[in-house]
Structure 1
């Protein structure tokens, strides 16, 4: 499996997210996919993909059998094949998808982020799945995740994905240094605060997804093309 580009990783992870969080709107049209890729919340980094860039990423992912086009829809719709394509368990696929969408996270953050994707029993089960991915990569020589050095103000070490190659980690060092310089004694956000914020974000995302689905059905009923 070749290294993914950032655009391909965003398209693939967005399909993985929407398959689990808004199944009624899945598979996704190109328009809905681009909207999901360019969300301002739960994305790190925030991106501004064009339709052409998303379509180019879809085409290369289709060539690798990581994305398929649904055949039962008048408007082209797309679905992912990540779990089978990479040969990972559901829990491992969820963690990789979250790392692709939201950047490096601690096991605790990953457990909170995964609430609408997959129910991990506890943080230990997240750490176990990450450890399995790391061990598998070390055995095969194709690393998929890496544990990062402890950042300033963090009690836990963060994990990052390597599906875009190790070069993708080079941008993290300046960010970590800047964070330390701004506030070297910063305290991490409490678990309760993070959970409340995550719940608020997910509620807003769900409302937006429902509105997008209603709009898409309206376009279809009126026979209008989706812009």
Structure 2
């Protein structure tokens, strides 16, 4: 299975997974229902505005990968389903956590626990962490744990259907701008911070290499 999905394909697939769990009475989804799900302004990051032509293109690409298909249940209106449960063997709680990552981007285990409950019973925080570990150990891996950012207490997790997420660079100060006040730190503390930054960069580089190798193996 190719892992380098586009943002469009990830949004379509995530919405199909979400609606199967939250509104099973309206699933499979018509193209209109899928458009409403993909373009809704809540529980989405980023908010998108996709046309039916965009959605059809995304569905065709997902169909070629065996991840979504047109149903054969009859009726005059075409309806669509995902194949994540059959294709990758993912249970409902696991699909719920993965769908949240696909629809809202990187999140902590605690955030995922609170947000995934609307789709499935994912259990307590320890249970969610077990789900995340399962997704990290899946063959191929579907989730990675991001390096903990300075000033944050918890690590975040991200899906890797589109590859390794980009890490924001620190914006340089503009020439002529007033200097930003920074607290003074001792030499020992400064050295410790420099070591932590260096370790973080090494970890990011290693994660990037692992994902690139994974993508090459499954492309």
Fold conserved between structures, TM > 0.5:
yes
User: Which digits, 9 at most, give the CA deviation of each residue in 1:127-168, with x for residues without a partner?
Assistant: 0111122133xxx4x3311111223553311100001112xx
Distance 2:116 2:44 in 1: 14
Counterpart residue number, 1:109: 111
Unaligned ranges ≥5, structure 1: 179-183, 185-227
Residue number in structure 2 paired with 1:93: 95
Partner of 1:221: none
- Structure with the greater alpha carbon radius of gyration: 2
Matched, 1:67 2:51: no
**Which residue of the partner structure matches residue 161 of structure 1?**
159
Q: What secondary structure, in the 3-state scheme, does the structure 1 residue paired with 2:107 have?
A: coil
Aligned to 2:59: 58
The one-character-per-residue Cα deviations of 1:14-52 (angstroms, maximum 9, x if unpaired) are 011111111222111111101110111111111111111
Segment drifting more, 1-10 vs 82-91: 82-91
User: Corresponding residue for 1:127?
Assistant: 129
Q: Secondary structure at the match of 2:129?
A: helix
Match of 1:2 in 2: 2
Other-structure match for 1:151: 149
Whole-Å separation in 2 of the counterparts to 1:135 and 1:84:
18
Which residue of 2 is the match for residue 82 of structure 1?
84
Counterpart position of 2:45: 44
**C-alpha separation in 2, matches of 1:37 and 1:70:** 19
Q: Secondary structure at the match of 1:173?
A: coil
CA distance in 1, matches of 2:23, 2:95: 17
Deviation at 1:66, TM superposition (A): 1.4
**May I ask how many residue pairs the two structures share in their alignment?**
171
TM-score (norm 1): 0.69
Structure 1 residues 22 and 90: alpha-carbon distance in aligned structure 2, compared to 1, 3 A threshold: closer
What's the TM-score once normalised by structure 2's chain length?
0.72
